[in-house]
Chains A and B, each alone.
Chain A
Amino acid sequence: QSSLGTVTVGSRPVAQPMPVSGEGTIQSMDVQGSQRVEADTIKAYMGLKEGDRYSPDAVDKAIKALFATGLFADVAIGFQNDRMIVKVTENPIINRVAFEGNKRVEEKTLQAEVQLKARQVYTRSKVQDDVKRILDVYRRSGRFAVTVEPKVIQLEQNRLDLVFEVNEGPSTYVRRIDFVGNKRYSDSALREVVSTREERWYRFFSSSDTYDPDRTTYDRELLRRFYLRNGYSDFRIVSSVAELTPDRAGFFMTFTVEEGERYKFGDLKVDVKIPDVKPEDLMPSIKAVSGDWYNADLVENTVQAITDRVGALGYAFVDVRPRVKRDKANKIVDIVFDVQEGPKVFVERIDIAGNMRTLDRVIRREMQLVEGDAFNSAKLRRSREKLRNLGFFEKVDVTNVPSETSPDRTVVQVDVREKSTGELSFGVGWSSSDGALFDVTLRERNLLGRGQDIRLKTTIAQRKSEIDLSFTEPYFLDRPLAAGFDLFARDRDYQKTSSYNLKDTGGSLRLGFNYDENWRQTFRYTLSQSEVSNVASTASTFIKQREGEYLLSMFGQTLSYDRRDNVIEPTEGYVVKLSTDVAGAGGDEKFVRGMIDGAHYTPLTDDTVLMVQGSFGAIQGIGQDVMFIRNYQLGGENLRGFRTGGGSARDKSTSDVLGGTWIGTVTAEVRFPLGLPEELGISGKTFTDAGMVGKPDGVNASAMNYSSSIRASAGVGIVWKSPMGPVSIDLAYPLMKEDFDKEEIFRFNFGTQF
């Protein structure tokens, strides 16, 4: 009796599925339907061969094994009295994989992403996986309304062509970002906080203007941290919604926020549960000052400081937790820092993974923990923060897992995903002083994975051309000492004001470090060749006599103290900078120069900021006159309403500008919204500038028009964050001036960096 029982497990049903009846030994085996896969390969996979016992589940196992290989569309095993017949139909082989309808993402990227390649075995599950992968590529480049249809074209010899028909649907750019419920900070200020940007034509390099759900969650965290840093301890994000525009070509993103009240620090206490550590020992480590605006960063810094302080007192296993109590009525936040003994766990090892380019030591030197230390989660958080600030990584995970060797040991795992730290950026602009300008910057912030920064910048403008190369090693001699050098070649055209050209070629060495978070110190030595050239025949004799080349060999230092709330758009705080230079040491020029400048920012109302800025500089020759190329110029950038150098001394006969050996300027400016719709990004400003300037060396009074009187001006202007880039227009009217000064009522400045 030939019971051709076939047990089939497969995607396509077969006529009469009958379980194999009974058992026996396999006398012989016959494989049918295999074309590409050899018979003994099939036997090897099945695990059954002649002479073995067979039974229903053995057969079933064999079938499952064959399917697991993914080589077969269908498998059937039947028996003719102990002769085993294995009937297989192989999965077809792909002859060609093609894509149609893909405009945004080219074929090459899709081919690389897709697993199925020519000459591979076609299986339905693999095709589904590949469809998902294609959708993923599109999602990453910001397109979500994409559909992918796999189509199969049968060819002879059981081969087929696989075509993915892609319908890309509309592009999903972020057309606009709006904020609802924000009173204290304007929409444009918050747009700087989030990482997503509105779509701009010149943003074709970056994809930060495409909608990406993961980035939205990151934006929510950025917003929360921003508000918590500025006192809004109740801050809450009600919703962050991205709606497709009516023409389905982009997204409107709206963040609804609840700012809540702005809190101040109430009383700050320390509750210590460690024997013989008294709260007074830890009070000085509290970074926040009661009465100041609440700031979450200061709370975290206090946790770190207390952890270190307790460690120094001999208790390495410490756990510091801030207990926050909000008093909504009078908007005070009281904080008690609970300090208790933490679990006794040591760090066994710190393993760093993912650094394909960055060297292990560049990462390890940022870690706050060392192998063998007492484990502490605050130090883990600080380490992750420091690694993030390097700016080399897209993702930084610092976690710890228990170690197998002993219960009181843990292994810290640092997992980084590097991002391309190379930047190629272009800039186009126009300014009253330099005219139209164009610059190209090529920069690599993690050269050779050593954390070194190298930058090549070229600028070509109507009245200036410049190329400079700068290199910095942040950890010179394995200590936080930034050492670097710069090489530059500059060519400036002062024909309009003083009818000469100035070429500077040379280099400088520099060392920089921080005394603490606020004080920064840099030292530098500059060696450069200055050349005063093509002096016009009609130029002033004082300029003509200086035509030629001069060697400058100068030591200098700069000390700065910075308490601004942020560097890009400060609204609060102040910064002061003192720099001094001594030129001599074998150079032609010998002088001493000092410059002090400061700026103070105070928020008048929610969105208006008063900025008061002042600077005073002086230069004194040593045994020789100061060259006019080193003189200070009053007017233009530092005194609006006057042309560049408009207020400085000038040659009586040729009216060439000669400059002065000291200068003092002060500016007060208030920026305020113009009540225009927020998205135009236009804000107004009113300002008054004032300044005085000294005389040039070696020029007797009769030969020049000079006055040491105060010049002043007042004016209004607008700042427009246009789609082309920031534009600023100033209209300034000189109030106090000399009749020989040169005025310039209208100043315009536009520059875009993309």
Chain B
Amino acid sequence: CSPEVRTHGAMPPKSALSQIEPGKSTRADIAQVLGTPSTTSMFDNGEVWYYIGSRHQQVSFHANEELERQVIIFTFDKSGVMDEMKTLDKNSGKEITLVSRKTPSAGHELTIMEQFLGNIGRFNSGGQGSK
């Protein structure tokens, strides 16, 4: 039996998308049909709307694999009517390697011994509710 395919993010069906027409649907219409956008454009108080969704599959020991992706972009004219709808898929993305560096942050990290011995003091006492 094929392992289940899982959907993440906003993946509106064709039937919903067909109700939206450039030049006619306003922001309110789109939000009514598709729900609020997954995310909006940055630093211009959300002019452009994005609906981002993807399908994933996880087979035996392989990592979670992204099968397909749908990024819908709505741009609007001055009066708030949608003037263009673009759709990107997985191939329009660019494969890159993530930087492994991290900005350091403080905080008390448990040492192995501290955590290991910490348990000896309180056996697995079930209902006792150890401190």
Contact = CB atoms under 8 A, between A and B. Distances in A.
Chain B associates with chain A:
yes
B43 interface: no
Interface of B: 1, 3-15, 35-36, 38-39, 52-53, 55, 58, 60-64, 110, 112, 115-116, 118-120, 122-131
A409 B62 CA distance: 32
B60 A513 contact: yes
Interface residues of A, number: 56
A314 B4 contact: no
A422 B127 contact: no
B128 A140 contact: yes
Contacts of A421: 119, 124
B17 to A, nearest CB: 10
A516 B8 contact: no
Main secondary structure of the interface of A (DSSP, over half): loop
Interface in A392-432: 406, 408-409, 419-424
A208 B126 contact: yes
A420 B125 contact: yes
B55 A312 contact: yes
Interface of A: 112, 140-142, 205-208, 210, 212, 215, 275-276, 305, 308-309, 311-316, 344-346, 357, 368, 370, 372-374, 406, 408-409, 419-424, 444, 447-449, 454, 477-481, 511, 513-516, 521
A212 B127 contact: yes
Contacts of A408: 35-36
Contacts of A357: 110, 115
Contacts of A368: 6
A368 B56 CA distance: 12
Contact of B123 (A276, A409, A420, A478): A420
A424 B123 contact: yes
Given A420-B125, A423-B124, A449-B110, A314 B63 contact: no
Contacts of B119: 420-422, 444
Contacts of B5: 308, 312
A205 B123 contact: yes
14 contacts: A140-B127, A205-B123, A205-B124, A205-B125, A207-B126, A208-B126, A276-B15, A314-B14, A370-B9, A373-B8, A408-B36, A421-B124, A422-B120, A479-B58
Contact of A515 (B60, B64, B115, B130): B60
Contacts of A206: 123-126
A477 B63 CA distance: 8
Given A206-B124, A207-B125, A422-B116, A448 B110 contact: yes
Nearest to B122: A420
A422 B120 CA distance: 7
Given A314-B12, A372-B52, A444-B119, A420 B124 contact: yes
B7 A448 contact: no
Contacts of B123: 205-206, 420, 422-424
B39 to A, nearest CB: 8
Scoring A275, A344, A357 by chain B CB atoms within 10 A of each residue's CB, the highest score goes to A344
Contacts of B129: 140
A516 B124 contact: no
A478 B58 CA distance: 12
A374 B10 contact: yes
A514 B122 CA distance: 34
A527 to B, nearest CB: 23
B127 A207 contact: yes
B10 A208 contact: no
Scoring A313, A345, A448, A481 by chain B CB atoms within 10 A of each residue's CB, the highest score goes to A448
A205 B3 CA distance: 43
A275 B14 CA distance: 11
Given A344-B35, A372-B52, A316 B125 contact: no
A448 B36 contact: no
A406 B40 CA distance: 14
Given A312-B4, A314-B12, A480-B61, 6 more contacts: A206-B123, A210-B127, A344-B35, A368-B6, A479-B61, A515-B60
